[in-house]
């Protein structure tokens, strides 16, 4: 993956989510079915503005947390970093390279989380437009895809740092 790809994924994911929120705002009812049980039946509602600001807040916080958490490796004491071959990868001569690599993974994950929420937003809008209000089973595909990507990213990080050069 090129040097520009991780920040591009993060920016496109986050601003794509914000654009989806803005584009779908008027399609939401005044009171939004915002929480659903496992069968897709709504069991929680919020005023539209509260729902939108809550979602924007959650995604902004999560995106910043993921990007920031991985970037902090540069400044954390070695003992606070859980990484295979930690002593090797956090040695002074490799710490910058390790920090850049982990920062890239963090940016990619931040972008993917934003895209996950974008997909969920589209399903919530569709659910609120249907009668009766019901969340589609597509939510399970979004969840499965997100978990699969998270698993692939976890394995990639583990493989990257399990070996020493």
Question: What's the residue count for the chain?
Answer: 165
pLDDT at 70: 87
pTM of the model: 0.90
pLDDT at 55: 98
Query: Is residue 4 pLDDT above 90, yes or no?
Result: no
| Confidence band, pLDDT 50/70/90 cuts, at residue 164 | confident
Cβ-contact 57, 73 below 8 angstroms: no
Q: How far is CA 108 from CA 5, 33, 137, 153, in A?
A: 8, 30, 26, 9
Query: Is residue 103 pLDDT above 90, yes or no?
Result: yes
- For the chain, the average pLDDT equals 95
* Coil, strand or helix at 134: coil
Range of the domain at 138: 5-162
pLDDT at 3: 82
What is the per-residue pLDDT across 17-75, written as a single tens digit (0 to 9) for each? 999 999 999 999 999 999 999 999 999 999 999 999 999 999 999 999 999 998 888 89
Q: How many domains is the chain partitioned into structurally? A: 1
* Coil, strand or helix at 31: strand
């Amino acid at each position: 993956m090129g040097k520009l790809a991780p920040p591009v994924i993060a920016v496109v994911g986050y601003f794509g989510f914000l654009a989806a929120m803005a584009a779908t705002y008027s399609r939401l009812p005044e009171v939004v079915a915002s929480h659903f049980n496992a069968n897709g039946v709504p069991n929680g509602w919020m005023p539209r503005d509260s729902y939108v600001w809550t979602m924007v807040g959650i995604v902004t916080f999560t995106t910043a947390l993921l990007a920031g958490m991985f970037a902090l490796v540069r400044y954390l004491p070695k003992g606070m970093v859980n990484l295979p071959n930690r002593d090797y990868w956090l040695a002074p001569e490799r710490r910058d390279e390790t920090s850049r690599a982990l920062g890239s993974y963090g940016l990619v994950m931040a972008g993917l989380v934003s895209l996950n929420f974008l997909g969920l937003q589209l399903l919530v809008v569709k659910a609120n437009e249907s009668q009766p209000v019901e969340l589609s089973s597509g939510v399970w595909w979004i969840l499965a895809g997100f978990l699969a990507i998270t698993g692939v990213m976890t394995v990639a990080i583990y493989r990257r740092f399990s070996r020493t050069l």
